[in-house]
């Protein structure tokens, strides 16, 4: 008898198993109890950057180098920036890359470890428009632009640049996929040409008779607002996840038109992102058309920011 009853109970249970997780047309509540729940998640915002040698990924304490053997050319730095981040702030976060060359800085120009030698204190860009990149040491009114690309892992190249270690920037640059470093102060509040001599002037030197300069033809005269969006290397940060800027982006995946690719390949893929809070940023400078002199910046800065 007991065995028969057990078989009946098991049969009923097995028959009811398919009903688990099913949706019903109507539910009538007999009684209920409401339970409150709450919790607080602490905030975390960290950003660390290490300059590493592309040759062996070792740390480099002296920073990025862009030494040209002579002549005008694009120079890929033999170092890269190893960036680690973690952020869970409310809002839309990004990591920006920019210079601030119009703000005076103390810069170690001769590499002796201090910034007190003549010409090293109060060093800044003194020319027109946007002074992004590296500033000339002899002529501080000119710059050599910096460009960057970003990946979620260390790169190698088939072009033989830096021994095949790291990303190889195109010669000439392909600025639709290799992005310029922006500067935080894009022009002075007033920039003009002297009405008599035609010379460039700025600030208080501009009087009512001096035409204000519109450097890039966008009808906005004088200083332009710094746009953190254009300076964002990665964005949409959610703890250790982020979307990477499309630098580089292979515009024609059916043609091997990028020196960093051995075969035709879509460099950025369908989604450029990282989920481990670590990225690698490579930089180059463009000496094409530049004066033969030393160039330097003491204000190349990465910032974890909230964009609103």
CA 194 to mean position of chain CA atoms: 38
Distance, in Å, from the CA atom of 210 to the CA atom of 195, rounded to the nearest integer, reads 5
Instruction: Name the residue with tokens 């010409």.
Output: 119
- With the CA atoms of 116, 126, 247 and 178 taken in that order, what torsion angle do they form, in degrees rounded to the nearest 10? -110
Residue 133: predicted pLDDT: 92
pLDDT of residue 99: 92
Tokens at 110, concatenated: 């001769």
pLDDT of residue 214: 73
pLDDT on residue 234: 94
Exposure of 82 in the CB half-sphere (CA atoms within 13 A):
14
The first and second tokens of residue 96, run together, are 């920006």
Cα–Cα distance, 260 to 171 (Å, whole number): 11
| 158 Cβ contact partners less than 8 Å away, ≥ 6 residues apart | 164, 168, 259, 260, 261, 262
pLDDT tens by residue, 227-273: 888 899 999 999 999 999 988 876 655 554 444 444 434 454 446 88
Q: How are strands ordered across the β-sheet holding 295-296?
A: 143-144, 134-136, 295-296
Q: How far apart are CA 274 and CA 269, in angstroms?
A: 13
Q: What percent of the chain is predicted at pLDDT more than 90? A: 39
The percent of residues above 70 in pLDDT, for the chain, comes to: 79
> What's the CA gap between 292 and 273, in Å, rounded?
39
Residue 264 CA to residue 256 CA, distance in Å, equals 4
For the cut 60, the answer to whether the pLDDT of residue 18 exceeds it is no
Residue with tokens 């339970």: 35
Collapsed DSSP state (helix, strand, coil) of residue 275: coil
SS3 110: coil
Question: What whole-number distance in Å separates Cα of residue 230 and Cα of residue 175?
Answer: 13
Mean pLDDT computed over 150-168: 89
Q: Which comes out higher in pLDDT, residue 161 or 52?
A: 52
Neighbours of 112 (CB within 10 A): 10
CA 134, CA 101: separation in Å to the nearest integer? 8
95 burial type by CB count under 10 A (0-12 exposed, 13-18 middle, 19+ buried): buried
Helix (H, G, I), strand (E, B) or coil at 59: strand
Q: How far is CA 72 from the centre of its chain?
A: 26
Cβ atoms of 206 and 191 within 8 Å: the answer is yes
The string of pLDDT tens digits covering residues 86-139 is 999 999 999 999 999 988 999 998 888 888 998 899 999 988 777 899 999 999
What confidence tens digit (pLDDT) does each residue in 20-57 have?
555 556 778 888 777 867 777 878 899 999 999 999 99
Long-range CB contacts (< 8 A, 24+ apart) of 23-29? none
On whether the CB atoms of residues 300 and 125 are closer than 8 A, the answer is: no
For residues 208-221, give the mean pLDDT. 73
With 50 as the cut, is the pLDDT of residue 162 above it? yes
Report how far residue 194's alpha carbon sits from residue 287's, in angstroms, rounded to the nearest whole number. 30
Across the chain, mean pLDDT equals 81
CB neighbourhood size of 148 (10 A): 23
pTM: 0.79
Asked if 137 and 294 touch (Cβ cutoff 8 Å), the reply is yes
Domain locations in the chain as residue ranges:
43-186+234-303, 187-224
């Amino acid at each position: 008898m007991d065995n028969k009853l057990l078989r009946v109970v098991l049969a009923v249970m097995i028959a009811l198993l398919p009903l688990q997780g099913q949706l019903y047309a109507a539910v009538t509540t007999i009684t209920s109890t409401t339970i409150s729940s709450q919790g607080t998640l602490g905030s975390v915002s960290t950003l660390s950057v290490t300059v590493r040698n592309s040759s062996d990924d070792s740390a480099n304490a002296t920073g990025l180098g862009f030494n040209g053997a002579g002549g005008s050319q694009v120079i890929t730095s033999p170092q890269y920036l190893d960036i680690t981040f973690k952020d869970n702030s409310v809002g839309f976060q990004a990591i920006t890359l920019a210079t601030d060359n119009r703000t005076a800085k103390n810069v170690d120009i001769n590499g002796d470890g201090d910034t007190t030698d003549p010409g090293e204190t109060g060093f800044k860009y003194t020319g027109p428009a946007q002074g992004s990149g590296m500033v000339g040491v002899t002529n501080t009114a000119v710059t050599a632009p910096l460009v960057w690309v970003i990946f979620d892992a260390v790169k190698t190249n088939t072009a033989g640049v830096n021994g095949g270690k790291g990303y190889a920037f195109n010669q000439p640059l392909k600025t639709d996929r290799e992005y310029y470093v922006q500067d935080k102060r894009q022009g002075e509040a007033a920039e003009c040409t002297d009405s008599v001599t035609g010379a460039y002037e700025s600030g208080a030197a501009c009087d009512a008779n001096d035409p204000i300069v519109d450097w890039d033809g966008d009808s906005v005269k004088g200083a332009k607002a710094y746009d953190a969006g254009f300076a964002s290397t990665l964005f949409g940060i959610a703890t250790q996840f982020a979307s990477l800027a499309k630098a580089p982006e292979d515009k024609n995946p059916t043609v091997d038109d990028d020196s960093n690719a051995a075969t035709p390949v879509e460099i950025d893929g369908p989604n450029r992102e990282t989920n481990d809070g670590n990225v690698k940023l490579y930089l180059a400078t463009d000496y094409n058309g530049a004066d033969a002199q030393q160039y330097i910046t003491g204000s190349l800065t990465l910032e974890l920011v909230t964009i609103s």
